[in-house]
Structure formats: structure tokens, C-alpha cells
Amino acid sequence: NPSGNVLRLNGSTEYINVGSSASLDKIFSQGGGTAEAWIKPFSDGESNFGRIFDKSISTGGSNGWHFLVTGESNGACKLRFSHAFTSGGVYWDTTSTVITINAWNHVAVVYDNSSPDNNVQYYVNGSAVDDTPNRSTPSGSAVDDSSQDLYIGNNASTERAFDGIIDEVRLYNRKLELAE
């Protein structure tokens, strides 16, 4: 479990805008990338789509990507990752509610956007978990997110706030093997 300074978010108005730089842009391209964090959600967030990371300029993620919690049920919720392609976006939910509300969870998504046929790989507390694509697979190429700022705990429209605590956020421009 994380310790020290953590980002506690109130589920409505708090977030961090990290901005955009070469080290934050296109992390899922050129062989893939990984986004990970420790989270302790108190719910699935504002409008049931609490952002962990968001690098898109629209709520639907049609011009970038986002990683969030959603689908709260019986004290747990799902993870969702969405990525935009030139013909539209695709998103993947974990098959079941794998995130425990009011508990620390280590979450990671590994993805390679070189083809719209590629799937994500989720890890929760070091174990791979199943996912299901929720839209038909788009065609075209991945949308370049270089012009979008990276938000932690919300989106650019500040309407998808994370409700809970986020710590030890990391982005890698390579695919990590995270299973135990």
C-alpha cells in the first residue's frame, strides 16, 4: 500500500493538470505503453466515470485516451480504458467488478495502439484480469494525443472527477509485464 503524500480528490472539483510534453505524449504508440497507479476509490466517481488518467479533450474520449473506474455495484467497480482512432473510439471494461471500494488497489493498463485490433491488458494488484471490448473495433490509425493535456483525477471538462485517493502514478512508453 502507498504511504506518504497522496492525492485525495473530493469527487467534484479537485484534479491535477500535468500538461503535455514529449514524455507524456503518444505513450501507447511505437510498441505500446503502460499507465499505472495506486487508487483507493470511495465510489466510481462523478457521473459514474471517475477518471484516474485522462488525455482527451472530450468526454467520450474521441480524441485521445482515458483510464477510469465505472460500474459500481456491491462495493466494487470496473476499470475502463478508451482510445480514439480516426474512425471513432473503442473502450474495454474489465469483465467483472475487480476494484474494491474503500480499499487500496494497484491498477495498470498495458496497450499498443499500432492497430485497432489490439486489445488492452489490465492488472489489478499484480494479477491479470479479463476485459471485454464494448464497441465495434474502429478502423484507421490511433489519434495523436500530443495536443491534449494529461489530467489526473478528472478530464479537461472537469465533469468526470475521481472520488477517492490516487498515489504513485506512472506512465511508461513501453509495455510492462506486471503479473506476479
In this predicted model, what pLDDT tens digit does every residue of 50-91 receive, in sequence order?
Answer: 999 999 876 555 678 999 999 999 999 999 999 988 888 888
Let me know: does 131 contact 111? Beta carbons within 8 Å.
Answer: no
What the block records as the C-alpha cell of 91 is: 473502450
CA-to-CA distance for 14 and 152, rounded, in angstroms? 9
Q: How many residues does the chain have?
A: 180
pLDDT of residue 86: 87
Residue 98 predicted with pLDDT over 70: yes
Look up residue 29 and give its amino acid. S
Percent of the chain with pLDDT over 70: 88
Residue 156 predicted with pLDDT over 70: yes
Let me know: does 159 contact 59? Beta carbons within 8 Å.
Answer: yes
pLDDT tier at 13 (50, 70, 90 boundaries)?
A: confident
Let me know: does 77 contact 162? Beta carbons within 8 Å.
Answer: no
